[in-house]
Amino acid sequence: MAAEAVRTESPCAMMRRAAQSARQEIRRRRDEISRLQGELGHLQGQPDPDQTAITALKQRLEVLKEQLKQDELSLDTLEQVISENC
């Protein structure tokens, strides 16, 4: 059934579906960044913070922020293509 939908789905519908999926991924990534920032703040507020854990969280946050930036750029490009062609 899903294969049939793919064969009959228009390119515009496919791009809109991809854009919706990208928006959900961006939302999920933002939520994860927010959660990790809260965790980082909690760790840094400890009397004797675990520097290894803090460093690991900071690195993870940087990776997620870079991925978010790339996701937003890709979504923006896709939305421009959709608006120009659909």
pLDDT in tens, 62-76: 999 999 999 999 999
| Confidence band, pLDDT 50/70/90 cuts, at residue 6 | low
CA torsion angle 20 23 25 28 (round to 10): -130
CA distances from 48 to 23, 44, 51, 53 (A): 39, 8, 9, 12
| 59 pLDDT more than 50 | yes
| Distance of alpha carbon 63 from alpha carbon 51, whole angstroms | 18
> Which pLDDT value is given to residue 11?
92
| pLDDT of residue 1 exceeding 50 | no
Q: Cα–Cα distance between 59 and 34 in angstroms, integer?
A: 14
pTM for this structure?
A: 0.80
pLDDT more than 70, % of the chain: 92
